[in-house]
Amino acid sequence: MVGEIMKIIAKPVDMVCWFEKTGVPHPVRFKVTDEDESETIIRIDKVVTVDKEKIVGNDMLVFKCQSVINNTQKIFELKYELRTCRWILFKM
């Protein structure tokens, strides 16, 4: 898993998450639409790291997560746009 190359996907996803009283989100599972219009639900097994990033004035939280997908453990990156409250599956 160390050094695994992740492909940039940058797709919006439907997210189920919970928030701390301070407003910090914790992702639980998300739904992504594939090219063939089918939908896949992925449960987040573990959040490995959370970082903040600012691109062109847009503040984001970057969640590096891991899950078992199709019997294989995968690492992926989800981004949460603080201004628009949108979730993006950025890398997988």
Is residue 65 in a domain? yes
48 within a domain of the structure (yes/no): yes
DSSP 24-56: -EEEEEEEEE-TTS-EEEEE--EEEEEEEEEET
| The total number of structural domains that make up the chain | 1
Q: Which pLDDT score is estimated for 54? A: 93
CA 85 to chain centre: 13
24 belongs to a structural domain? yes
pLDDT at 56: 87
- % of the chain exceeding 70 in pLDDT: 96
Domain range enclosing 24: 8-91
pLDDT, tens digit (0-9, with 9 covering 90-100), for 24-49: 999 999 999 988 989 999 999 999 99
Asked if residue 2 belongs to a domain, the reply is no
pTM of the model: 0.89
